[in-house]
Amino acid sequence: MRQILQNLGSGETLLAEVPAPGPRARCLLIATRASLVSLGTEKMLVDFGRAGWIAKARKQPDKVKQVLQKVRTDGLLPTLDAVRSKLDQPIPLGYCNVGVVVGAEQETADRRQGTEGGFAPGDRVVSNGPHAEVVLVPHNLCAKIPDNVSDEAATFTVVGAIGLQGIRLLAPTLGESIVVTGLGLIGLLTVQMLRANGCRVLGLDFDGHKCGLARQFGAEALDLSAGADPVAFADAWTNGRGVDGVIITASTASDEPVSQAANMCRKRGRIVLVGVTGLKLSRDDFYKKELSFQVSCSYGPGRYDPAYEDQGMEYPLGLVRWTEQRNFEAVLDMMADGRIDVAPLISHRYRIEDALEAYATVATGKAMGIVLEYGPVGRSGLGAPTSAPQAVSGGAHRGAPGGHALPDHANPSLARAVTHNAPVTGGAGSALVRVSIIGAGNFATRTLLPALKGVSVRRRTIVSAGGVSAAHAASKFGFETSSTDTAGVLADPETDVVLITTRHNAHARQVLTALESGKHVFVEKPLALTIDKIDAIEAATLGAGKLLMVGFNRRFAPLSLKVKSLLAGVPGPKSFAATINAGAIPADHWTQDLEIGGGRIVGEACHFIDLLRDWAGVPIVDARITYLGGAEGRTRDTATIALTFADGSIGAIHYLSTGDKGFPKERYEVFAGGRILQLDNFRALRGWGWKNFSKANGGRFTQDKGHAAGLCAFLDAVAQGKPSPIPLEEIVETSKWAVRLAL
């Protein structure tokens, strides 16, 4: 299918061929009919992508600080690589989608029967899906479209809901005088909804045409380009009383809109920021009038709440009257009865195959509402552009993320795989190991896939849930196919090895399926989240006669191998101390969710258990954990783990989320036979009491945690028919101890 993407690094706007998404629980699969280009948000992303490095840095000073901090702790080269990789990942554009449901699970269809009704194939719906021929959207971010609302009009629903949420926060009453600063799409829709609410409305903008539209919708309007004083105008407009409230829908770096709003308001007036402005507030302006100021969050309650959006949990109507979905429905109802008229807001219409011309029009600054049509001409009643499109500029081009030509078609496709122009290394009948990967997130694209560079394997298929990251990674790293079909890859007879880098709760199921299909498996940690799943995987591995390896990469790091070789000549028990400055992550991050991520002890601390187990060279016979503040801590991600090994060695892992990022993430100390080793962040190794040891042979210019070496060792073992680089019994041992500790 075709989808519009933006590369933030190169500045290219792409009409790319990517795999269509597949069905997922609590989501609707939607064939798109039309979508609306959001001039504010999308133009900002396009402009950011086309800006140079210095301009990008100026726009994100907080990110620059993070980069400099990473340079100090991890080194220059890893930091540059991380920044380039982050900017190189194309992002989907668009969030105003209208289409027809082509897939809905029974749970979704039945979920709200008897209340608001469910969804079924054939329903016309609006969603916040991107500009793509097929989209997959959680059902709480979708709403049915009334029969008398056209596809074209419905594309304005989501931007309308943004304005509506701002109005709800302002809470205007009948007859109040409200100012709308910024008359773009959201501003003009806000004007109409305020008028429908019985308010007097004054619109402010620097564009005379937009001011004219505001007047057409029943508002007073002031063209700021003429140099008029908006505060004086508002004072006269309210007969000296001051306005009751201001909704700011403008996008500017200036602090002026907020300052003007404060000066326009009456005492105890209200100000709501829907757009983006500077926020250097004058305390005096707000103090004397006791003004209230609030920032509106997108479409309404539920936005960015994983429980509501991803898990489909509903907010009770009696407690939360207006969720983001109910705001969508309210906007559609106002369109249906004529209180919102979007026809005057449409300036251009384009077919999806001409989408890049639409973005060239955006760059001119002369567009208003741009509607994209999908499928055959006339299906949605859309015609040719209402004005001639401009030539494409600024690096936009038509092609897949890797530059492949697109097929000449216009109908949506549900094909879940895309073939790329990657060379089939070795040709038919080649003895090369054939590798596929499930998961194309940051770890896969920044760490694992670069490790395949120069490795003699056949790169078969890469899978991601949405398809965009898979298509980009397939082109970048030379895979033959990108896909959204995990089951198809696990059963692919042309795949010998499956690399799994998905979320933790999917690991066990995918590992078992791959083993049952006769694949060798490399899975990122953790192996599984429960003891019974670990047992099942162990039995399946032994039964299949295939290699299994978990990404315990640290034991393959060059400096870690040096530690192990030095310890091999030291008899007797040893003492290990690991200080892991893991850093804080939000309590609602998926890795903290025990059902999805398993928590940080299972999900990450297993790394350090494995490394000490490797250095000790003997099994762990006992392990205990003490949490900061006790076991009832909210996230249980700050703890000390005490290990006892079969030869009497002991280890302490201090896993800390309470430190400062300026301190190195990992420090290991080993005390053995009157000698000491200290490994800092896999960049420096120091020794005391060792003959012929110097910092020169223990230091590295760049950090190397052993990712490439571990993966290559595994693939070499598969190709040569050798045992797994990490014995199965050690993988199982470490994995079980991590799970037991977290119980």
Q: Which CATH number fits the domain that encloses residue 46?
A: 3.90.180.10
What's the CA angle centered on 437, arms 436 and 439, to 5 degrees? 155
Note the pLDDT of residue 382: 35
Identity of the highest mean pLDDT range in 39-43, 568-572, 687-691, 735-739: 735-739
Average pLDDT on 109-128 reads 73
336 in any annotated domain: no
Helix (H), strand (E) at residue 143: strand 142-144
- Residue 685 CA to residue 226 CA, distance in Å, equals 68
Does 634 lie in the same domain as 503?
Answer: no
Is 553 within 8 Å of 725 (Cβ atoms)?
A: no
Note the pLDDT of residue 115: 38
Rg of the chain, C-alpha, whole Å: 29
Does 539 lie in the same domain as 575?
Answer: no
Q: What is the mean pLDDT of the chain?
A: 87
Note the pLDDT of residue 633: 52
Task: Give which of 157, 15, 19, 43 is closest to 99, Cα–Cα.
Answer: 157
- Residue 451 CA to residue 706 CA, distance in Å, equals 10
Does 573 lie in the same domain as 689?
Answer: yes
Least confident of 6-15, 61-70, 431-440, 527-536: 61-70
Dihedrals φ, ψ of 246, to 5°? -135, 130
Does 614 lie in the same domain as 469?
Answer: no
Note the pLDDT of residue 453: 85
Note the pLDDT of residue 383: 33
Report the 10 Å Cβ neighbour count for 168: 18
Give the CATH number of the domain where residue 255 resides: 3.40.50.720
* Domain end call among 489, 522, 552: 552
Identity of the highest mean pLDDT range in 74-78, 198-202, 363-367, 472-476: 198-202
Least confident of 107-121, 245-259, 571-585, 632-646: 107-121
- Residue 21 CA to residue 347 CA, distance in Å, equals 31
* Domain end call among 524, 552, 580: 552
Residue 227 has pLDDT above 80, yes or no: yes
Note the pLDDT of residue 128: 96
Q: What tokens appear for 165 in the block?
A: 């949420």
Does 491 lie in the same domain as 388?
Answer: no
pLDDT band at 290; cut points 50, 70, 90: very high
- For 272-282, write each residue's pLDDT tens digit: 999 999 888 88
402 in any annotated domain: no
- For 493-509, write each residue's pLDDT tens digit: 999 999 999 999 999 99
312 in any annotated domain: no
pLDDT band at 408; cut points 50, 70, 90: very low
Note the pLDDT of residue 406: 31
713 in any annotated domain: no
pLDDT band at 107; cut points 50, 70, 90: low
Residues of the domain holding 579:
554-707+723-742
315 in any annotated domain: no
- Residue 687 CA to residue 672 CA, distance in Å, equals 11
pLDDT band at 407; cut points 50, 70, 90: very low
Does 654 lie in the same domain as 559?
Answer: yes
- For 417-458, write each residue's pLDDT tens digit: 999 977 665 444 457 999 999 999 989 998 999 999 889 999
Residue 391 has pLDDT above 50, yes or no: no
- For 18-63, write each residue's pLDDT tens digit: 999 999 999 999 999 999 998 877 766 666 656 665 665 666 666 6
Average pLDDT on 714-720 reads 96
Does 152 lie in the same domain as 186?
Answer: no
Residue 166 has pLDDT above 70, yes or no: yes
Does 367 lie in the same domain as 392?
Answer: yes
Average pLDDT on 598-627 reads 96
Residue 483 has pLDDT above 50, yes or no: yes
- For 619-653, write each residue's pLDDT tens digit: 999 999 999 987 555 668 999 999 999 999 999 99
**Residue that is written with structure tokens 């207006």 in the block:** 322
Altogether, the residues listed in the chain come to a count of 743
Helix spans in 95-207 (H): 106-110, 151-154, 157-170, 185-196
Note the pLDDT of residue 395: 38
Note the pLDDT of residue 647: 97
- For 92-105, write each residue's pLDDT tens digit: 999 999 999 998 86
Give the CATH number of the domain where residue 683 resides: 3.30.360.10
Note the pLDDT of residue 363: 81
Residue 86 has pLDDT above 70, yes or no: no
* Domain end call among 520, 552, 584: 552
Report the 10 Å Cβ neighbour count for 171: 10
407 in any annotated domain: no
Number of domains in the chain: 4
Does 604 lie in the same domain as 732?
Answer: yes
Does 596 lie in the same domain as 470?
Answer: no
pLDDT band at 692; cut points 50, 70, 90: confident
Does 476 lie in the same domain as 391?
Answer: no
211 in any annotated domain: yes
620 in any annotated domain: yes
Is 248 within 8 Å of 275 (Cβ atoms)?
A: yes
Note the pLDDT of residue 280: 87
Does 499 lie in the same domain as 383?
Answer: no
Residue 573 has pLDDT above 70, yes or no: yes
